[in-house]
Amino acid sequence: MELSKQVCSLELAQKLLTLGVKQNSLFFWHHLDTPYPSIIYMHEKTESSGDFLISAFTASELLEMLPTRINTKTNVPFNNFRIRIEQAYLVPENNVISTFLVNYRCDTAEITNDNDLLSTPLFSHNLWDENLANALAQCLIKLIEEGFMND
């Protein structure tokens, strides 16, 4: 598998940098001023490249940053949400595309019948991408922007 499919995109990495996420990763986007930025391993960094590096976070690194649960502090007892990651398939025009869905699902629910399990409240719309690191980066960005990473 290509390294670029195992790390978040340059666009998402730049957004995370803008939001103040600590640039501590095994891989970095390099040569940002060229049309074809590359990914380098942490030990390949040089002093001359220092100003042009942005962390290219892996899915594992992003999972460590994401909280396992969030508390919206509203609508008690339905205010606790736990992270949920699923693999799903989109089928536009008979073309199967494997994607990853990331969301937080309410961990408290009144279940009155079996159908209620299907309508468990979600924190937001599903965030998805074919690249798991991109889906996780989108989720982290949403949590930061909505103030859930300040606690």
23 three-state secondary structure: coil
Whole-number Å distance between alpha carbons of 124 and 127: 8
pTM (2 d.p.): 0.85
Strand, helix or coil at 97?
Answer: strand
Q: Which residues of the chain have pLDDT under 50?
A: 50
pLDDT value, residue 4: 86
Whether 43 maps to a domain, the answer reads: yes
**3-state SS assignment for residue 61:** helix
Angle at 122 between CA 130 and CA 131, to 5 degrees: 10
How far apart are the C-alpha atoms of 9 and 80, rounded to whole Å? 30
Interatomic CA distance for residues 81 and 83, integer angstroms: 7
Q: What pLDDT does 37 receive?
A: 84
User: Residue 71: which domain range?
Assistant: 63-145
Q: Are residues 45 and 108 in the same domain?
A: no
- The answer to whether residue 14 sits within a structural domain is yes
Question: Which tokens in the block code for residue 29?
Answer: 């986007």
**φ, ψ for residue 96 (rounded to 5)?**
-80, 125
Asked whether residue 151 is domain-assigned, the answer is no
Instruction: Note whether residue 106 is domain-resident.
Output: yes
Q: Is residue 150 part of a domain?
A: no
In this structure, the answer to whether residues 34 and 9 fall within a common structural domain is yes
